[in-house]
Amino acid sequence: MRSHYCGELRASDVDQQITLCGWVHRRRDHGGVIFLDLRDREGIVQVVFDPDREECFALADSCRNEFVVKVKGLVRARPAGTDNPEMPTGAVEVLGQEFEILNKSETPPFQLDEHQSVGEDVRLKYRYVDLRRPEMAAKLKLRSKVSTFIRNFLDQNGFLDIETPILTRATPEGARDYLVPSRTHEGHFFALPQSPQLFKQLLMVSGMDRYYQIAKCFRDEDLRADRQPEFTQIDIETSFMDEAQIMAITEKMVVELFKSQINVDLGAFPSMPYSEAMETYGSDKPDLRIPLQLVTVSDLMKDVDFKVFAGPANDLNGRVAGLKVPNGASLTRKQIDIYTKFVGIYGARGLAYIKVNNAVDLEEGLQSPIVKFLPLEVRAALLDRLDAKDGDLIFFGADSEKIVNEALGALRCKLGEDLNLMTCEWAPLWVVDFPMFEATSDGGITAIHHPFTAPSCTPEELQASPLTGLSRAYDMVLNGTELGGGSIRIHQQDMQTKVFELLNIAPEEQQEKFGFLLDALKYGCPPHGGLAFGLDRLVMLMTGSNSIREVIAFPKTQSAACVMTQAPGIVATKQLRELNIKLREKVTAE
Ligand code: ASP
């Protein structure tokens, strides 16, 4: 129907007869001349209708926003002084000669340039209108370019694109499963994959050597910010490569992706051990654009007469840490109150601080509600350890190590943004040397990555001290976001059984849930490893979006529902009966 996209027309097209199809973005009546801004996926161009073509003119005049139209016309340069350098098509306009309304539109639920005035729910309910916004179209276009680049890169490097089942058994990745009842096997359920983890490992056993898939994953997680129940991974697995080789090839992929698509040089990625990331940044995905660091001061606080500090300082699982904000002494009481509330979200019960007004005057030069509890020599050692200068402010976290890390780690990022402390635009890194396991609140242990991750020690060593054993896992982090994570896998059955055992999975349960994997490990499983990138997060960062919902065509809400289709929905009793499912009576308040 069309010869050109609206957004593609340039000065070089002047004098061409063209046909456009698109949506009326805006209609303006300028003293007897009608201007229609016509929009399609590629952008907007101005079309002019003169009254001397009467029929055309009347039709154009009758158009309203979001009507779908077809225009034949002549591209011409805009009259001198009326060109618009802000618009890619701003040097030209189209003189409308033939005009057809292909479809009318009711007044849209929101004007495209007023999307901010309506709630996200309205945007999601009318997502097909929301996606007409040039900004959203640009995001989906980049997303498409990113997957095409990744496919080409991996294909050129010998990776095979292989699909794995969606109706499957549970794959533990730390979330709840979405279950699908089986009609043909009464009382049995499929689980949607939390990731293709086990299938990609089995593909290595089958000799496929290098696999990738742009795969949908499903996780029924508690509603944490910016998670989607279904999301997309760039899932990768290789045989006979060690962690350094896997990291090198995937780093190359990401570096070339950023350079080719958004002209960003990420440079070489540094590596940081997990322990250092937690100690210095309070996070396993540190945002290295922010120069602030956590500094442990527990040893200095062991004997102070201030329980809030001395308690955690003398507790094996406790931590007292300082976070110095250069020139932070100018923060107001009100600002500090806001930060105190903020760390409360992470369980911190307060936010002690010291303003360093005069670092040489330890008696009078430190302004703080808590400084009176600290002997002079502690004050001196503190300032020395944090290298605090006049005008600086030190925040403190004192609690369990977990709370201090989470609270100060988050505060560090918030301060970085609020006070504009970013030292660069992009800060990638690898986090390595993760522990295999972490303790759970009920006294057990759980895998930090997943139970198929290889430890960097022997089964005996792991058994002797499960909580200190390290894994061969690695995460790629960019600007404080985990872009991807993976590991070298366990490829020997005795090690896999040992890890299941340590995770308190009884032999029968091991067989029931993972018998097929344990079997496969017996039949010539090669050493292998891989990783998976979150495609949504990757595109979010590349487009500067602040949520993954902005780069997913039809995302779900925070409560895991689709406001457009009203999914999840109720189903007819007949359908439930076929599935042998009976819903429990709703418990109503007596
Ligand atoms: N399957 C893992 C995940 O979803 C990634 C990997 O280990 O390759 O996080």
Query: In this predicted structure, what is the pLDDT of residue 587?
Result: 55
pLDDT at 115: 79
Distance, CA 488 to ligand 1 centroid (Å)?
A: 11
Burial 365-384 (b: 16+ CB within 10 A, else e): bbebebbebbeeebbeebbe
d(CA 82, ligand 1 centre) in Å: 55
Q: Is the distance from the beta carbon of residue 531 to the nearest atom of ligand 1 less than 6 Å?
A: yes
Task: Please name the residues in contact with 472: beta carbons below 8 A apart, sequence gap of 6 or more.
Answer: 243, 453, 454, 455, 456, 487, 488, 529
**Centroid of ligand 1 to alpha carbon of 286 (angstroms):** 20
Nearest atom of ligand 1 to the alpha carbon of 194: 4
Return d(Cα 514, Cα 496) in angstroms, integer: 10
Q: Which of 159, 164, 192, 197 to mutate to test the pocket of ligand 1 (most atoms within 8 A of CB)?
A: 197
Mutate to test the pocket of ligand 1, among 159, 228, 233 (most ligand atoms within 8 A of CB): 233
The predicted structure's pLDDT at residue 174 = 85
In short, whether 287's Cβ falls inside 6 Å of ligand 1 is no
User: For a substitution probing ligand 1, which of 159, 168, 195, 482 has the most ligand atoms within 8 Å of its CB?
Assistant: 195
Does the beta carbon of 195 lie inside 6 Å of ligand 1?
yes
| CA nearest neighbour of 447 among 416, 477, 487 | 487
With a 6 A CB cut-off, is 487 part of the ligand 1 pocket?
A: yes
For residue 217, the one-letter residue type is: C
Rg of the chain (C-alpha set): 30
pLDDT of residue 409: 98
In a 13 Å sphere around the CA of 375, the CA atoms on its Cβ side amount to 9
Residue 223 main-chain phi, psi, to 5 deg: -75, 85
The CA-CA-CA angle for residues 123, 552, 104, to 5°, reads 45
Take residue 7 and report the two structure tokens written for it: 């957004």
* Residue nearest atom 8 of ligand 1, based on CA coordinates: 531
Q: Residue 2: exposed, middle, or buried by beta-carbon count in 10 A (0-12, 13-18, 19+)?
A: middle
Most distant CA atoms of the chain, gap in Å: 92
Please report the pLDDT score of residue 590 as a whole number.
46
State the DSSP H helix or E strand holding residue 165, giving kind and residue range, or none if neither.
Answer: none
Q: What is the pLDDT of residue 244?
A: 98
According to DSSP, residue 339 is labeled H
Q: Is the CB of 172 within 6 Å of ligand 1? A: no
Query: Which of ligand 1's atoms lies nearest the C-alpha of 217?
Result: 4
Tell me how far the alpha carbon of residue 16 lies from the centroid of ligand 1, in angstroms: 53
Q: Rounded to an integer, what distance in angstroms lies between the CA atom of residue 309 and that of residue 372? A: 13
**CB of 250 closer than 6 A to ligand 1?**
no
Q: Is the CB of 485 under 6 A from ligand 1?
A: yes
- Closest-lying ligand 1 atom to the alpha carbon of residue 171: 1
Helices and strands: H and E segment counts in the chain: 17, 22
Distance between Cα 93 and ligand 1 center (Å) = 51
Which residue has its alpha carbon closest to ligand 1 atom 7? Answer: 486
Kindly give the distance from the C-alpha atom of residue 529 to the centroid of ligand 1, in angstroms, as a whole number.
10
pLDDT under 70: residue ranges of the chain: 223, 587-590
- 422 in Cβ contact with 290 (< 8 Å): yes
- pLDDT of 588 reads 55
**Is ligand 1 within 6 A of the CB of residue 298?**
no
Looking from the CA of residue 195, the nearest atom of ligand 1 is 4
Q: Which two tokens stand for residue 435?
A: 């522990």
CA of 23 to the centre of ligand 1 (A): 42
Q: From the CB of 213, is ligand 1 less than 6 Å away?
A: no
Q: Are 488 and 529 in contact (CB under 8 A)?
A: yes
Phi/psi at 414 (nearest 5 deg)?
-65, -45
197 lines ligand 1 (CB under 6 A): yes
What pLDDT score does 123 carry? 95
Closest protein CA for atom 1 of ligand 1: 197
Predicted confidence at residue 443, as pLDDT, reads 84
Going from the Cα of 201 to the center of ligand 1, the distance in angstroms, rounded, reads 11
Atom of ligand 1 nearest to the CA of 237: 8
Tokens representing 448 are 């930090």
CA of 287 from ligand 1 middle (Å) equals: 21
Q: How far is the CA of 493 from the centre of ligand 1 (A)?
A: 20
Residue of 173, 199, 204 best suited for mutating to test ligand 1, as the one with most atoms within 8 Å of CB: 173
CA of 524 to the centre of ligand 1 (A): 22
Q: Are 410 and 343 in contact (CB under 8 A)?
A: yes
| Ligand 1 pocket mutation pick from 230, 235, 487 by most atoms within 8 angstroms of CB | 235
Residue nearest to atom 4 of ligand 1 (CA): 195
| Signed CA dihedral, 317, 469, 439, 193: sign only | positive
> How many angstroms is it from 453 CA to the middle of ligand 1?
9
What is the best residue among 238, 247, 449, 535 to mutate for testing ligand 1's pocket, by most ligand atoms within 8 Å of CB?
449
> Ligand 1 mean position to 234 CA, how many Å?
10
Give 541 Cα–ligand 1 centroid separation in angstroms.
20
